[in-house]
Structure 1
Amino acid sequence: MSLPDSVTPLKIADAARAIRHVFVRDLLLDAHIGVYAHEHGRTQPIRVNVDLTVSEAAHSDRLANVVCYETVVNDIKALVASGHLNLVETLAEHIAARCLVDPRVIVARIRVEKLAAIPEATSVGVEIERAK
């Protein structure tokens, strides 16, 4: 499966710098999000993509030794379930901040898209990058 033309491929993993790339692709959730009155009191579909630049360390095939993508997903689900947000920008900032809590995460690139906000568009949203 190839990436859509609208998604820039990333080269984050880097052996020379001991950098690992941990990612979540196309996480589909229903969120209470939006600033307009018609967006309050209901959910709408969103898509979340996460790219993390992670400092590699030798590991012994133990989950505790890596940044776990399931933990990242569960954190995003908890943020989305925590209540209404007005802006996708706010959700992206919360996700980035949560990812950067892990000392191994150096950079977090987060993309949040609303999938039904504009009928003529496949999606609208924001992409941010935050670093320690």
Structure 2
Amino acid sequence: MSWGRVFVEGLELSASIGVLEHEHRARQPLFVDITLEVNNGFSVEGDLSSVIDYRVPVDHAKRLVKAGHIELIETFAENLAAACLDDDRVLVATVRVWKPDAIADAKASGVEITRQR
């Protein structure tokens, strides 16, 4: 079996996310990395329908953010991984989500999850 990885790194979204009161009032930056391990490798024929289009997980992430307030970044990560696994060619989805402003003395804080079929 041949396989490969499709990834998106540093996707920046503006999200209503978090459990604190001020996080309910204002959107904040949310960064996302997505790595998908896929079967069938990659097409060399230039046929987009035969590969995983990396715009698809980006669209999933944007839809989740637009759907409304999200309490936990863990919930966002789980829902995004599940949406990515809806494509039967995706064997493993790793989602890393971080908020750059959550902890004053840290560059970022967040979660990383890996889910497989």
Taking structure 2 as the reference length, the TM-score comes to: 0.94
**Unaligned stretches of 5+ in structure 2?**
none
- Report the equivalent of 1:109: 94
Q: Which residue of 1 aligns with 2:116?
A: 131
Corresponding residue number in structure 2 for 1:27: 11
Gaps of 5+ in 1: 1-16
Aligned in 2, Cα 1:58/1:36: closer, same or farther, shift over 3 Å?
Answer: closer
Aligned equivalent of 2:39, options 45, 55, 60 = 55
- Residue-by-residue CA offset, 1:38-81 (whole Å, 9 max, x unaligned): 11021011110011100015743211111100111111111111
Q: Runs of 4 or more off by more than 2 Å in structure 1?
A: 57-60
One-letter identity of the residue aligned with 1:49: D
Greater strand fraction, Structure 1 or Structure 2:
2
Write the distance in 1 (CA, Å) between the matches of 2:6 and 2:90.
9
Higher relative contact order (CA 8 A, sep 6+): 2
Looking at structure 2, the residues matched to 94 and 101 of structure 1 have their Cα atoms a distance apart, in angstroms, of 11
Given the alignment of the two structures, is residue 118 of structure 1 paired with residue 103 of structure 2, yes or no?
A: yes
* Sequence identity percentage: 44
The CA RMSD measured in Å over matched residues stands at: 1.2
1:18 paired to 2:27: no
